[in-house]
Chains A and B, each alone.
Chain A
Amino acid sequence: MLDGPPGGGYRSPMRRAHAAEVAVVDLAVCDRCGLCLPLCPPEAIHLELSDLVVDRQACTGCRKCVAPCPVGALAMVDA
């Protein structure tokens, strides 16, 4: 088996207590391109039957997904 994923520190089960902000997606704007998924350090974003889902429990509020979205579909809101 694997030795565990490289950079696996992100995947610690105790990864956050409370983030002040979390990312939300506007599905009317999102094009389902998938670009934001690999940008998210705690892997909190995925697509479900092509609709983007942000796991509010897993999101650390780091904002790494926001600016790269080509259409501006992601924004931060108070957690």
Chain B
Amino acid sequence: MPDVDVLVVGAGPAGAVAAAHAKRAAPELDVVLLERDRAVGAPVRCAEGVGDAGLREFAEPDGAPWVARKISRVIFVAPDDSEVKVAERDVGWILDRTRFDAHLAALAVAAGAELLVGTEASGMTRTPDGRWGVAVRGLRGESSYRAKVVIGADGVEAMVGRWAGLDTRVPARDMESCAQYVVQGIDFDPDAIYLQFGDAVAPGGYAWVFPKGVGIANVGLGLVALKSDGRNARQYLDAWVGRRYPGGARTGYTVGGVIVHTTVQQTYADGVLVAGDAAHMINPLSGGGIVNAMKAGRLAGCTAAAAIRAGDTTARRLATYHHAWMALLGQDHLKYYRIKQALETVDDAFFNALARTVNAIPQERRTLGRIFTHALVKHPQLIPVAARFFI
């Protein structure tokens, strides 16, 4: 069985960045990156939106071939369809995830990591010498690797964590069931993202329109099944798209899960780190996970490299990763989660009323902060939550 230093399972943003950073931090290490799908970045299970600042920590978006659209406005749509426009400078970008993920994987390979597509990890066991034997199958048949550190960047499935004895399960109330079409030939503001709330549209979540170009957008929604009326995500989406864009051509379709929880209790074990969706490292308010995954991947890659160099890959040593993540973003996610819980108590009438009061503010003075303030005036029960958020 081939010996490697770091085996990264999953070539999404978390895994690709982890592999690149492990190799950059310690170029003498053998780093292998496995991807089950036959192409990195496909199929796309994502609305592809990222914030500007977070993205720039990892890649330069201006003029990049993996960018679909620059975004400079957010339009909130209340349950009664009234719109609230909020202009913010440099809001963010809509990526082309197929190209973006491939770009990140290519950076890992350029740093010296080996990438194997069409290859899945199918199980792992601890070897007597304190490494992991990882069974692998795919295009080239079955084989196995022996690795000092395995990085589980395998997305919502999170099997690496499970095999290592970590608890990666999710309560049903914290899973958003998503469905999305690529819709073409429709009319909307191509510089804005649209977010619509409402129990009839997407109970417990929201629906989105993320432009990929003029007249073409990712149109999808995420909902919490426990709050649905019995229809599944695809059925809610068919109803919403049918009402909003009856003439649009639905040229693509995807589904997926977004874990709107907080970081798993433990993100490390002997010789194992888990990162990205696999560790529930998603902003539980927005459902955004791409930048979180890259930040976690960077930490995981650097921690693994330093541990191997020091000759100590025990859970005790790898725990530094968990602490670093919690300080970087994990604690913030705990706060966002409390806000999410408080928002669950507000209803459609509140969002409709909020839209009316905010629309009374002149557009150039409308910021997300002012909208939040208005929400608090209308809904004082949110104040304690907001206080915890800002303190």
A residues within 8 Å of B by Cβ? 1-2, 4-8, 10, 31, 33-41, 43, 46-50, 64, 67-72
**Chain B 246-261 per-residue mask, 1 if CB under 8 angstroms from chain A, else 0:** 0000000011110100
**Is A69 in contact with B168, judged by CB distance below 8 angstroms?**
no
Min distance, Cβ A4 to any Cβ of chain B, angstroms? 7
**Is A35 in contact with B156, judged by CB distance below 8 angstroms?**
yes
The residues of A that contact B234 with a CB separation of less than 8 Å are: 70-72
- Distance, CA A47 to CA B121, complexed state (A): 11
The residues of A that contact B225 with a CB separation of less than 8 Å are: 67-68
**Is B36 in contact with A50, judged by CB distance below 8 angstroms?**
yes
Are A2 and B159 also in contact (CB < 8 A) when A31-B255, A39-B170, A69-B232 are? no
Are A70 and B255 also in contact (CB < 8 A) when A39-B169, A49-B120 are? yes
B residues within 8 Å of A by Cβ? 36-37, 45, 120, 122, 137-138, 155-159, 162, 165-170, 172, 175, 177-179, 225-226, 228, 230, 232-235, 254-257, 259, 265-266, 269-270, 315
**Is A34 in contact with B177, judged by CB distance below 8 angstroms?**
no
The residues of A that contact B228 with a CB separation of less than 8 Å are: 67
- Distance, CA A71 to CA B180, complexed state (A): 11
The residues of A that contact B155 with a CB separation of less than 8 Å are: 34
**Is B233 in contact with A6, judged by CB distance below 8 angstroms?**
no
Residue of B nearest to A35 (CB): B257
**Is B120 in contact with A2, judged by CB distance below 8 angstroms?**
no
Min distance, Cβ B139 to any Cβ of chain A, angstroms? 10
Return the contact of A5 from the options B137, B157, B166, B232 (Cβ within 8 A): B166
**Is B177 in contact with A38, judged by CB distance below 8 angstroms?**
no
The residues of B that contact A2 with a CB separation of less than 8 Å are: 165-166, 266, 269-270, 315
Are A70 and B179 also in contact (CB < 8 A) when A6-B265, A34-B257, A50-B36 are? yes
The residues of A that contact B233 with a CB separation of less than 8 Å are: 70-71
Min distance, Cβ A33 to any Cβ of chain B, angstroms? 5
Min distance, Cβ A59 to any Cβ of chain B, angstroms? 15
**Is A37 in contact with B165, judged by CB distance below 8 angstroms?**
no
| Contacts between the two chains (Cβ within 8 Å), count | 103
- Distance, CA A35 to CA B167, complexed state (A): 16
23 contacts between A and B (CB under 8 A): A2-B166, A2-B269, A6-B167, A31-B254, A33-B45, A34-B156, A35-B256, A35-B257, A38-B157, A38-B257, A48-B122, A49-B36, A49-B137, A49-B138, A50-B36, A50-B37, A67-B226, A67-B228, A68-B177, A70-B255, A71-B255, A72-B232, A72-B235
Min distance, Cβ B289 to any Cβ of chain A, angstroms? 14
Return the contact of A35 from the options B138, B175, B226 (Cβ within 8 A): B175
The residues of B that contact A36 with a CB separation of less than 8 Å are: 257
**Is B169 in contact with A69, judged by CB distance below 8 angstroms?**
no
Min distance, Cβ B205 to any Cβ of chain A, angstroms? 12
Are A39 and B175 also in contact (CB < 8 A) when A34-B157, A47-B157 are? yes
Min distance, Cβ A49 to any Cβ of chain B, angstroms? 7
**Is A7 in contact with B167, judged by CB distance below 8 angstroms?**
yes
Min distance, Cβ A36 to any Cβ of chain B, angstroms? 8
Are A8 and B157 also in contact (CB < 8 A) when A2-B315, A68-B175 are? no
Residue of A nearest to B230 (CB): A67
The residues of A that contact B167 with a CB separation of less than 8 Å are: 5-8
Residue of B nearest to A37 (CB): B157
User: Which of A43, A49, A68, A72 gathers most chain B CB within 10 Å?
Assistant: A68
The residues of A that contact B158 with a CB separation of less than 8 Å are: 37-38
Return the contact of A67 from the options B170, B179, B232, B270 (Cβ within 8 A): B232
- Distance, CA A38 to CA B152, complexed state (A): 14
The residues of A that contact B175 with a CB separation of less than 8 Å are: 35, 38-39, 68
Q: Which 4 A-B pairs have the closest CB atoms?
A: A35-B257, A70-B255, A70-B233, A68-B225
Residue of A nearest to B233 (CB): A70
Identify 15 new A-B residue pairs, CB closer than 8 A, beyond the known A31-B255, A67-B230. A2-B269, A6-B167, A7-B169, A31-B254, A34-B256, A34-B257, A35-B256, A37-B157, A38-B257, A43-B169, A48-B122, A50-B120, A68-B172, A68-B177, A69-B177
- Distance, CA A46 to CA B162, complexed state (A): 11
The residues of B that contact A68 with a CB separation of less than 8 Å are: 172, 175, 177, 225, 257
**Is A5 in contact with B172, judged by CB distance below 8 angstroms?**
no
